Every structure is written in structure tokens, then in C-alpha cells.
Amino acid sequence: MKYFDLHCDTIGECSNNNFPLKENNLHIDLQRAKGIEEYTQVFAIWIPDELRGNDAVNYFDKTADYFYNEVAKNKDIISLYKENKETPVKAILSVEGGSACGGTLEGLYHLYERGVRLITLTWNAENEIGSGAFSEGGLTPFGKEFIKEAEKLGIVLDVSHLNRKSFFEFAEIAEKPFVASHSNADIVNNEYGKKRNLSKEQIQIIRERKGLIGLNLCCDFIEDEKASGIDSVCRQINYFKKLECDDIIAFGFDFDGCTVNDKFNGIEKIPMLYSELKNIGYEEDFLDKMFYENANKFFK
Ligand SMILES: [Zn+2]
């Protein structure tokens, strides 16, 4: 099977703790990905909300250095997606938190030059671009400029973590297809499940724009008293299918960024998840789209 994942926080964990990407105790390492025939991972550099301006830029640079160093050390296993090499693992670099640009367009060009090809506009708080899921405002004037410029560069923009107001303002001005890299439908009964997930209207907009939605397996965003484990995954899939989202659904597991149900808590368990969903009755054509093809088509 093939797997394409839109979001993980592994590289920050590796960098902050000096863990190798090849073998570690995190959710993702290259050794344990061996059971997947072709695997593309979007590696996010998460910018903590305490960091703004130059502090955010420096934190990004330090973590990006670590990322490129690990890729170079393991070049027989992993390469950059855009290089189109024959390695079993391919990587796309992203940032989670547009604050990595330090609040300037020069900062955005810097991110592009350093290979960032997807930007999650905010984390939970407000930054120079707009407001996240746990803050009140909308997009800033700089944020609107940032969005236009990032689209011109061909960077994929990611609305996961935006609050509703920022999302709808974003949808007004965005001209290119965009993604929600790690969000679910807001049918999960808890505060996180409501605020971090997408409403029906948001899902329909992403579908009309031919974007992507990556299912997030973070317990808080997918499980509640009515569904856990595989049932919570099926509840999401069935809802997205009802909204005719077969061509835009993918995964953004949120590995190494949160607590994931024990059943799925590592990259080595992805093939098992695929088989389990197949046994439940989902068609292979659909699962292949969800696990790989939709995202691969989008990024190609
Ligand atoms: Zn996140």
C-alpha cells in the first residue's frame, strides 16, 4: 500500500530532543515506515505561539537545518518530493504557524527559498496573519497580502487551526485550491472537536475549490463518548462520503503532535488501518484515493 500524510510534528520533536529521524521512540521513524511501499510525508515545523518576529524565524531556521541534515544522512531512504527520486520515503517541508515569516513578506520569500511548500496560516492563537481556533479576530491586512503572495509563489495554504472568521475571510480572497491538512468534521462532541474541526459549510467550500482535507487522529478531535478507535475513523469517513468528498479526503494524522489512540499510534500501524477499513467494507479504490492518490494528485 501507499501512504501520503499531510501533517506530522516529528521533525520538531527530533530537533528539540536531538533524536535521529531514522530510529527513535516517536510516532514516526524511517525504520518503521518500511512496511509502506511508497510513503510521502509533509513534515511540519510547528512554531510555538510564544515565538513571534525574529524568534520565530530563528526557531524555524534551526529546525529546518535539522530536517535537511537528517534527510542528507538518510538519502538512500528519504528525499524531497520535488526532487522526484526513487527513495521509499518522500518529504515535503511545511510550517505550522505563518509566524515563521516573522511578519514580513521577505520572511515569506525566505521560507520559500528554504523549501517550504505548505503553510498552515496560524496555530491556535493570533499571529501576524490572522486568528487561530482559540482566538477571536479575523485576518489582518498583512495576512491578506501574505496570502496573495504565497499563492503567487505556489505555496499551498492550509486552513487547519484557523477560527471560523479567519477561514471565511480567507476563502473570500484565496484564488487557488487550499487544504485543511489535519482537521475533521465537527461532529465530535467536545470543545476541541468543535473548534478545531470543520463545519459542513467549510467542508463544502473546500470541496468546491478542489482542495484536500486530511483526517486528524488526535484523540481529542476524533473521539467522544459515542465513538472511539476505528469507529471514530469510520464515523468521519461516512460523514465525508455523505458530503461527496471521496476525491478530497486524505490523512493528516498529527503524529508526534498529539495523543493518538493506541491502535494507530505509530507509522508502522498504517498498513493495518488500511486492512481493517477494507475488512469493514470500504472499497479498495476509495481507500487508495484516501491513503495516497488524492493528496499525490493535488501536490503533483
Ligand atoms: Zn496542529
Centre of ligand 1 to C-alpha 10, Å, is 12
Cell 511548500 sits on residue: 117
Residue 256, Cα to own-chain centre: how many angstroms?
Answer: 12
Centre of ligand 1 to C-alpha 126, Å, is 14
Percent of the chain with pLDDT over 90: 99
| Residues in Cβ contact with 66 at an 8 Å cutoff, skipping those fewer than 6 apart | 11, 14, 15
In contact, 172 and 148? CB cutoff 8 Å: no
Centre of ligand 1 to C-alpha 86, Å, is 29
Interatomic CA distance for residues 143 and 128, integer angstroms = 7
Centre of ligand 1 to C-alpha 279, Å, is 30
Cell 493506541 sits on residue: 262
Average pLDDT over residues 176-190: 97
In contact, 252 and 6? CB cutoff 8 Å: yes
Banded pLDDT at 73 (limits 50, 70, 90): very high
Banded pLDDT at 196 (limits 50, 70, 90): very high
Centre of ligand 1 to C-alpha 113, Å, is 23
Please tell me what DSSP assigns to residue 300: -
Banded pLDDT at 91 (limits 50, 70, 90): very high
Centre of ligand 1 to C-alpha 281, Å, is 30
Interatomic CA distance for residues 46 and 123, integer angstroms = 8
**Chain mean pLDDT for the chain:** 97
In contact, 19 and 67? CB cutoff 8 Å: no
In contact, 66 and 15? CB cutoff 8 Å: yes
In contact, 162 and 196? CB cutoff 8 Å: no
Interatomic CA distance for residues 275 and 24, integer angstroms = 26
The helix/strand/coil state of 136 is coil
Centre of ligand 1 to C-alpha 13, Å, is 14
Per-residue pLDDT tens digits for 202-256: 999 999 999 999 999 999 999 999 999 999 999 999 999 999 999 999 999 999 9
In contact, 239 and 207? CB cutoff 8 Å: no
Interatomic CA distance for residues 89 and 10, integer angstroms = 14
Per-residue pLDDT tens digits for 30-47: 999 999 999 999 999 999
Average pLDDT over residues 117-126: 97
pTM for the full predicted model: 0.97
The sign of the dihedral angle between the CA atoms of 136, 141, 143, 147 is positive
Q: 156-158 and 116-120 as β-strands: parallel, antiparallel, unpaired?
A: parallel
Centre of ligand 1 to C-alpha 96, Å, is 7
For the record, the C-alpha cell of 22 comes out as 531514522
Centre of ligand 1 to C-alpha 119, Å, is 12
Average pLDDT over residues 12-27: 98
Per-residue pLDDT tens digits for 50-63: 999 999 999 999 99
Confidence at residue 210, expressed as pLDDT on a 0 to 100 scale: 97
Per-residue pLDDT tens digits for 275-292: 999 999 999 999 999 999
In contact, 268 and 260? CB cutoff 8 Å: no
| Residues in Cβ contact with 282 at an 8 Å cutoff, skipping those fewer than 6 apart | 237
In contact, 38 and 274? CB cutoff 8 Å: no
Centre of ligand 1 to C-alpha 254, Å, is 7
Centre of ligand 1 to C-alpha 201, Å, is 21
- Stated as kind and residue range, the H or E segment containing 120 is strand 116-120
